[in-house]
A and B are shown apart, each in its own frame.
Chain A
Amino acid sequence: MAKAPQHPESLVERYGPNPSYTPSGGWQKGSEAPPDRLVKTHCCFCGQQCGIKLKVRENRVVGFEPWEEFPFNEGKLCPKGVKRYMQNEHPDRLLSPLMRAPSGDFREAKWDEALDFTAQSLRAIQEKHGKDAVAIYGGASLTSEKSYLLGKFARVALGTRHIDYNGRLCMVSAGTAYKMAFGVDRSPNPWSDIPKAHVVLVTGANVAECAPITTDYIWRMRDNGGKLIVIDPRMTPITRNADLYLPVRPGTDVALMLGLLHVVLRDNLTDPKFIADHTVGFEEVEASARPWTPHQTAELTGVPPDAIEKAARLFAGADRAIALHARGIEHQSKGVENVLSVINLCLATGNIGREGAGCMMITGQGNGQGGREHGQKCDQLPGQRSISDPAAREHVAKVWGITPDEMPQAGLSAMEIMEAIHRGEIKGLLSMCFNPLVSLPDSNYVREALEKLEFFGVVDFFLSETAHHADVVLAGSLQEEEEGIVCTAEGRVVHIQQAVTPPEGARNDWAIYVDLAKRLGKEKFFPYKAPREIFDELREASRGGPADYFGISYEKVDREMGVFWPCPTEDHPGTPRLFEGAKFFHKDGKARFLVTEYRPSGDPVDETHPIYLTTGRVVSHYLSGTQTRRIGALVDQYPVPRVEIHPRLAEACGIANENWVTVTTKRSAMTLQALVVKTIRPDTVFIPYHWAGLQSANQLTHRTLDPRSKIPEFKVSACRIEKAAAAPDWARDAKPPGRSQRAPKRELRVIQ
């Protein structure tokens, strides 16, 4: 099946995305009576995991109160956090399983029927084509319990190698690089270190829009006299207070870092004692940086030589410096090398494992950190163990009650799974919390692949665009409807409380998987009655691994407002800062310098496609928009994507602000309105990616993956732009532009 129904309009009418403007209980009524309970929990919309108190009345979330005591955000929230409560009682909510009627349209189904059909379909495919003919997709917004459960479900209930998750589009380049260099995948420093740094270098991180709470940490660093260096092809909002701004050309980050390292080495600004005592591999890296003179670096990166000199001297000259990085450098076919090049700079200057000094990845998704630690990554077992490590296999197999031989080996990564589906090798897919039609690159290819599936099941609370292709949709639960833990960008394990129960007709995600396992005859491996029981098993499975959760309990998390892993025993205080005393997680205790090389992107600019296309986020939306495109206030803030173009490029192409522009890559073309701004490099255009169908930026992106992390290269494509002959059809119903998309008001106010 797997073709979308013939009449998507009727699907949209019932299942959305319909922006909701009224909270549960209404605006006025909601305020009249006091809430029954204030539930201390966390925002679901990014890896900062801000503490928030949800107002609950009669099993409904009717509003929120800031949670000022929670130390990370002290009550602060971005607009997504403020409005996240509006998902409760949303009119688009799935309130029953859906199955395909013979007409191809969806019909509501009973739970037993939908679960039986799902289990039978998966088993039938496996019997005919082998165990690995089915795959599981998970997501990094799920609690760690659910992530753990999915990993075990794939390997024990289905016995397939192929499980991966949408964190493959998020944290894997950073994770791979940190594991290579340090032996563990976590930001080494707690956020409270940021204000203590004397210099903060932010590279490829739109902090203000994607990790908004981090902004105040950076401003406090400046209040303390520190300096801010920002590296980005766009002036993102934090650039307004940058002491130094380096407008790097997309895809050349590794060269820029080599250029900085060159200056550090040339001017003897390294920390030789640290290098000698605590690292290996320096000489090779030193040699590799030698050719990258400021002039040579400037030619490739488009950053002026004197800015390179200044940045290197600022960073290396500080007693304590921090490098913050995110998807800008990681979403590339050399994402791992980009991160390694940042690590090399920190190691060379001795900036790691100390208060106010280090390199820090900014994890993106809600449980981006925890979601990758406990087994839904194709190559990992719980506790951040490698699935190819015999000792790890033995430990986890024992916890699971299987033999190590029964444990499948590493499977394919998220994009590779889609390619295997396209090739016809994988024929069945069960997906939860993932909207690949919007979030994977080259969406027309993804659609073709989905249409080839023999069976496609989806577990979700809203009907995503990808779910239009499903044979079965199982109505799952929102974050606030299920207890569990998540791990924040800091490495702090926090507790998600169940504020309300799922509405009638929807079920808890964990229970859905337990029931499926039962139908697959694997009941005895999935005896859980509550998430807490899954967590207890997770603790045991993670025990002794790099991400050791054994000493963590829900109660301890509540008491201490989060616990940083590793936490191996119940009386262990947790580990806010890694590598103190320069002790790294490799067997020899040393960090690794690793050589990085510049190479062109997988879709290099050329004569026909001379402009760089880069994609990213806006502050009011989360990932593929399945949730935020349903919250009215967030939709109004940024209703449809626009393409950011520098006036110099716009003028050369005869494009004025608000003109309709067609952006064409070797994959596809899309038409959207121009936002002509001086805050982007003139050789680059930017499109945010949160929308679906003809508004999806991923129609344009390409499928080149980083060879190690398998992250797609969302940040660098080649395109051309031209003024469009006409507005696309969808423009007719488009909402008025948000504040950030409008030209300034012209009228003057008379104040006399």
Chain B
Amino acid sequence: MFGRQFFIDPSRCIGCEACVNACAECDNHRGESMIHLDFIDRRQTIATVPSVCMHCDDPTCAQVCPADAIKKTEDGVVQSSLKPRCISCSNCVLACPFGIPKVMVRQEQMMKCDMCYDRTSVGKKPMCATVCPSQALSYVPLEEILKGRREKPTNVFFFGKQKVTTKVYMMVPQTMDAVSVDVVDYMWEEQA
């Protein structure tokens, strides 16, 4: 939006949790952090991974929502559930291939990263991608990323023959075009 895109590069992440803290400063959900930050296995490694909503072109969470509570804006940002509609059933939590939505017990609704819609819809950068000291999360023009980084961006993911394309990009090795996590995606199967 406004010429900039969101890029995630987990390999840059230092686990500082600036994003976690800054997310709670978004005016849309001040006091609650939506971003996920995982220490993969602190016993083995210092590696950490941040996950924001990928803002899928055809969001699985919205597909499975029985209450039709999850809406995407015209500029492609998938919003938290509409409070009057959400029945806190957790379908979206289970269905999202990236594990993003959370059912918030106190608020009695699904909430998730909305790409700081209060900020990005008026041309500002999202909180987390602004503060991130390693720029594991960055919000910059696509050309800048293509020019400056070792890795390259992709927004095509396969989850066992489910192809998901997203607004948010993931940084991957130069030799890779899409991310596939399921062996099935690498198999040759005769069509039945």
Judged by a CB distance under 8 angstroms, whether B106 is at the interface is no
Judged by a CB distance under 8 angstroms, whether A525 is at the interface is no
Task: Across the interface, name the chain A residue whose C-beta is closest to B128.
Answer: A82
Whether A83 contacts B21 by the Cβ 8 Å rule is: yes
Chain B residues whose CB sits within 8 angstroms of the CB of A544 once the complex forms: none
Judged by a CB distance under 8 angstroms, whether B108 is at the interface is no
Task: Give Cα A31 to B27, complex, Å.
Answer: 6
Task: Give Cα A237 to B18, complex, Å.
Answer: 14
Task: Across the interface, name the chain B residue whose C-beta is closest to A644.
Answer: B42
Task: Across the interface, name the chain B residue whose C-beta is closest to A657.
Answer: B43
Judged by a CB distance under 8 angstroms, whether B132 is at the interface is yes
Chain B residues whose CB sits within 8 angstroms of the CB of A749 once the complex forms: 94, 99
Whether A739 contacts B14 by the Cβ 8 Å rule is: no
Chain A residues whose CB sits within 8 angstroms of the CB of B15 once the complex forms: 208, 237, 619, 739-740
Chain B residues whose CB sits within 8 angstroms of the CB of A31 once the complex forms: 27, 30
Whether B39 contacts A30 by the Cβ 8 Å rule is: no
Chain B residues whose CB sits within 8 angstroms of the CB of A68 once the complex forms: 125, 130
Judged by a CB distance under 8 angstroms, whether B24 is at the interface is yes
Judged by a CB distance under 8 angstroms, whether B185 is at the interface is no
Chain A residues whose CB sits within 8 angstroms of the CB of B46 once the complex forms: 235-237, 239-240, 679
Q: A30-B30, A743-B43 are in contact. Are A216 and B25 (CB under 8 A)?
A: no
Chain B residues whose CB sits within 8 angstroms of the CB of A82 once the complex forms: 18, 21-22, 25, 131
Whether B14 contacts A744 by the Cβ 8 Å rule is: no
Interchain CB contact (< 8 A) of A215 among B44, B94, B131, B134: B134
Chain B residues whose CB sits within 8 angstroms of the CB of A77 once the complex forms: 18, 22, 131, 133
Judged by a CB distance under 8 angstroms, whether B45 is at the interface is yes
Task: Give Cα A64 to B21, complex, Å.
Answer: 12
Judged by a CB distance under 8 angstroms, whether A238 is at the interface is yes
- Total interface residues in chain B, CB < 8 Å: 44
Whether A63 contacts B25 by the Cβ 8 Å rule is: yes
Q: In the complex, how many angstroms separate the beta carbon of B114 from the nearest chain A beta carbon?
A: 15
Judged by a CB distance under 8 angstroms, whether A100 is at the interface is no
Judged by a CB distance under 8 angstroms, whether A569 is at the interface is no
Task: Give Cα A28 to B131, complex, Å.
Answer: 22
Whether A64 contacts B40 by the Cβ 8 Å rule is: no
Chain B residues whose CB sits within 8 angstroms of the CB of A741 once the complex forms: 42
Task: Across the interface, name the chain B residue whose C-beta is closest to A638.
Answer: B17
Judged by a CB distance under 8 angstroms, whether B11 is at the interface is yes
Interchain CB contact (< 8 A) of B42 among A64, A208, A740: A740
Interchain CB contact (< 8 A) of A219 among B25, B44, B134: B134
Chain A residues whose CB sits within 8 angstroms of the CB of B47 once the complex forms: 240
Whether A79 contacts B21 by the Cβ 8 Å rule is: yes
Chain A residues whose CB sits within 8 angstroms of the CB of B21 once the complex forms: 79, 82-83, 633, 637
Task: Give Cα A409 to B67, complex, Å.
Answer: 79
Chain A residues whose CB sits within 8 angstroms of the CB of B1 once the complex forms: none
Q: A31-B27, A740-B39 are in contact. Are A66 and B130 (CB under 8 A)?
A: yes
Task: Give Cα A77 to B133, complex, Å.
Answer: 6
Give the contact stretch, choosing among A371-379, A454-462, A670-678: A670-678
Q: A215-B133, A240-B11, A739-B39 are in contact. Are A751 and B97 (CB under 8 A)?
A: yes
Chain A residues whose CB sits within 8 angstroms of the CB of B27 once the complex forms: 31
Whether B131 contacts A209 by the Cβ 8 Å rule is: no
Whether B42 contacts A744 by the Cβ 8 Å rule is: yes
Q: A212-B14, A751-B97 are in contact. Are A744 and B41 (CB under 8 A)?
A: yes
Task: Give Cα A657 to B42, complex, Å.
Answer: 11
Q: In the complex, how many angstroms separate the beta carbon of B145 from the nearest chain A beta carbon?
A: 10
Q: Mark B96-114, 1 if CB is under 8 A from A, else 0.
A: 1101000000000000000
Chain A residues whose CB sits within 8 angstroms of the CB of B17 once the complex forms: 79, 619-620, 637, 739
Whether A212 contacts B30 by the Cβ 8 Å rule is: no
Judged by a CB distance under 8 angstroms, whether A452 is at the interface is no
Judged by a CB distance under 8 angstroms, whether A353 is at the interface is no
Interface positions of B (Cβ within 8 A of A): 11-12, 14-18, 20-22, 24-25, 27, 30-31, 37-48, 94-97, 99, 125, 127, 130-135, 148-150, 159
Q: Could you pull out 12 A-B pairs where Cβ atoms are within 8 angstroms? A: A27-B30, A76-B135, A215-B134, A216-B135, A220-B148, A237-B16, A237-B48, A620-B17, A677-B42, A744-B39, A750-B94, A751-B96
Interface positions of A (Cβ within 8 A of B): 27-28, 30-31, 63-64, 66, 68, 75-79, 81-83, 208-209, 212-213, 215-216, 219-220, 222-223, 235-241, 619-620, 633, 637, 647, 657, 675-679, 739-744, 749-751
In order of increasing CB-CB distance, the 7 nearest A-B pairs are A27-B31, A208-B14, A237-B14, A212-B133, A82-B21, A77-B131, A31-B27
